[in-house]
Amino acid sequence: MFRSKKWFLSLSLVFILVCSTLAAEKITVWTWYGAEMGEVLRDMVKNDFTKKTGIEVDIVLVPTEDINNKLLLAYLGGDAPDIVELYSNQAVELGVRGALVNLNTLSGIKNVTNQMNPMLLPAVSYKSALFAIPGEVNWEWTYYRTDIFKELGLSAPQTWDDVRAASIKLKARNMDTFYFYQGDSPNVGKLLPFVFQRKSDIYKNDGSASNLDSPENIAAFKELTALHKEYKLPLEDPAFTTFASGQTPLQILQNWYYAGFEITAPQLSGKWDITLFPGTKQKDGSIDRTNTGKMLVWSMVNSTKKKDAAWKFMEWLSSNDFAVKFSQAGNQLHKNRLFFANKNAIDNAPFPKDKLGLAKEALATCRMQTAVIGGHVANRYIDFAFNKVVLQNENPETAIKQAAKESTDEIQRKIKEFSRYIKNL
């Protein structure tokens, strides 16, 4: 009897210790969401994720411009977080170097990626490895002043031919058309849609070299630079000011500008609208409107000792429920129109209901830059080529072919440098 009680007490103690250990499990997450949105994230974690799973989460604000270097130093020093939020162009080179977990090795990854637009995944994949899951997404579409377009007899542009025709009419009235991509390499972001709409890419399929010198990509580069050389589209423009004044009534910008126009120019209510990104007519008469953008992603750090808990948190972050609640909170705080990669979440996004169809199509046709080793550095050669043509009057074909050679040299140099890592993928 005594032994039986002793055994029962011991078993109970073990059970209590195991339960308390599980309840106390804690992961650390580095994120760029600060201020009010950071508080929203903390509240959602506490009242939803932790309540359901028992896993506590320490949310640490690290500005995006510092995350890359800080993560490498923390990883080497043995003090890295379990999960980190990055821009998509940072994930692959960190992952290939062994700093991030290959998520394709985790159970349930297909359930997560199946919820995403597949054109987002090449930005965070290399060979058979996947180093991040998409989070917040920015794409490009078209803003136009309906009152001015009506006055000039213009319709919302559907193709680049329409954009060029509209820009001529606007110039005749001393008005401008602005095409802008906000990112590390703005001219690369502006070039990519012209490339994608020609069913091409700026890299060879195996990622071993540049493809900028292909006939399709030379034509794409010529079309982009001609917008600035021949049609005089400005390189810079204070978009909010000139849209409100009517100086630049046609603007091709990322989707977050929508909230900006609502907030900065309430007097324009009913006088502006959006349409999809301009497209290129195909041989069958259809219009390819593939656009591009930038994306925040979530990665698991390879040094984590809590892989199961970290993966549960990443699954939660990628869910429809999280995306809807987080974006709705952002809208309530300061009309921040956030969109997430989860395809189903967009149906309940805090966005004008009559425009949600456009948003769904824009997300479905948003293709991110393919990740290759050395690609982030190779991008600068496209910027150099663009500036040579637009600012220095160099021949566009000569400039882009030179960029192709320099990009290939950079990519192959980096592949050689990273070869010991690549062979393990």
SS3 82: coil
* 141 contacts 148 by C-beta, under 8 angstroms: no
pTM (global) more than 0.85: yes
Residues of the chain below pLDDT 50: 1-2, 8-9, 13-22
* CA 225/CA 194 separation, integer angstroms: 11
- The alpha carbon of 12 is separated from its chain's Cα centroid by a whole number of angstroms, namely 50
Mean pLDDT score of the chain: 91
Half-sphere exposure of 283 (CA within 13 A, CB side): 2
Residue (of 344, 329, 154) closest to 249 by Cα position: 154
The whole-number pLDDT of residue 276 equals: 98
Output the CA torsion 95→101→106→110 (10° steps): -30
Q: What are phi and psi of 239, to 5 degrees?
A: -50, -45
Q: Which residues have C-beta within 8 Å of that of residue 228, sequence separation ≥ 6?
A: 235, 390
The whole-number pLDDT of residue 62 equals: 87
* CA 105/CA 415 separation, integer angstroms: 23
Residue (of 93, 251, 267, 110) closest to 182 by Cα position: 251
Q: Kindly list the structural domains of the chain, giving each domain's residue range(s) and its CATH number in brackets, ordered by start.
A: 25-137+294-364 (3.40.190.10)
